[in-house]
C-alpha cells in the first residue's frame, strides 16, 4: 500500500514537471517567433532613417536680367545646411551640372523634348578660396548668369533648367568636413518672357 502511494506521488510530480517544461517550451517558441518578426522591422526602420534626408537643400530662383549685357538668365542659387552640424561646401560645385530641357510644340499637335548638359567641374587643382563653412541653419547665396546665346535657345519653346551641386573630395576645411556628394536644385521653367520656379524632382545627395 505504501509503495503504491509513493509511486502515485512520483507520477503526480512527474506530470507537474512535464507541464512546467511544456509551458517553458511554448514560451521559448513564442519569444523566438516574435524576434523573427521584430528584428527585420527594426533593421528596415534604421535603414530608412539613414537615407531619409540630405544635409543640404539647394534652391534656385530666376531674377531680372538687367545685369546681362547679352541675353542671359540670371539665377539666384542658395545652399542651406539643414543638419545639426557645421558643413563645408565648395562654391564652384553649385555649377557642377546644369541640365536644360527644351519642349517644342510640333505642327501635328504633339511635342518633343531635347536636352543639353553643361557644367563647371572646377579647376584642375583644388582651391580652398572657394570653400565656405556653413553652420547649422546657415545659407550660402550667389548669382549665376546663364548665357542664352547659342542655337539651343533660338525659336519658340518651353525650357526646364535644373542645377546639381557636386563635390567629391575627402577633405576637411578649417576643421570642418567638406560635404561629399550631389544635391539637386529646385527646377526652373521659362518660356519667352515668362519665367517661373517649379518644385524639384528629386533623384540624390
pLDDT digits (tens, 9 = 90+) for 23-37: 666 766 675 655 555
Mind listing the pLDDT tens digit for each residue in 66-86? 666 777 889 999 999 999 999
CATH tag for 56-198 (out of 3.40.50, 2.60.40, 2.40.30, 1.20.1260) = 2.60.40
Among 17-26, 122-131, 152-161, which is the least confidently predicted range? 17-26
Check: CB of residue 186 under 8 Å from CB of residue 202.
Answer: no
Check: CB of residue 25 under 8 Å from CB of residue 153.
Answer: no
Give the start-end residues of each E strand in the chain.
56-63, 72-81, 87-90, 97-105, 111-118, 131-134, 139-147, 158-167, 172-173, 176-177, 181-191, 194-198
Amino acid at each position: 500500500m505504501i509503495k503504491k502511494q509513493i509511486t502515485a506521488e512520483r507520477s503526480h510530480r512527474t506530470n507537474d514537471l512535464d507541464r512546467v517544461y511544456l509551458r517553458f517550451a511554448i514560451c521559448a517558441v513564442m519569444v523566438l517567433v516574435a524576434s523573427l518578426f521584430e528584428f527585420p522591422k527594426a533593421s528596415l526602420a534604421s535603414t530608412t532613417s539613414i537615407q531619409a534626408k540630405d544635409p543640404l537643400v539647394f534652391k534656385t530662383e530666376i531674377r531680372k536680367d538687367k545685369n546681362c549685357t547679352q541675353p542671359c538668365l540670371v539665377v539666384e542659387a542658395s545652399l542651406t545646411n539643414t543638419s545639426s552640424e557645421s558643413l563645408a561646401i565648395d562654391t564652384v560645385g553649385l555649377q557642377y551640372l546644369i541640365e536644360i530641357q527644351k519642349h517644342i510644340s510640333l505642327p501635328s499637335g504633339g511635342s518633343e523634348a531635347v536636352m543639353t548638359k553643361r557644367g563647371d567641374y572646377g579647376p584642375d587643382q583644388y582651391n580652398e578660396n572657394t570653400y565656405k563653412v556653413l553652420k547649422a541653419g546657415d545659407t550660402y547665396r550667389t548669382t549665376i548668369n546663364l548665357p542664352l546665346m547659342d542655337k539651343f535657345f533660338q525659336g519658340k519653346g518651353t525650357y526646364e533648367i535644373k542645377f546639381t551641386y557636386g563635390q567629391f573630395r575627402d577633405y576637411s576645411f578649417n576643421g570642418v568636413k567638406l560635404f561629399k556628394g550631389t544635391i539637386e536644385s529646385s527646377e526652373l521653367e521659362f518660356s519667352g518672357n515668362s519665367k517661373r520656379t517649379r518644385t524639384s524632382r528629386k533623384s540624390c545627395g
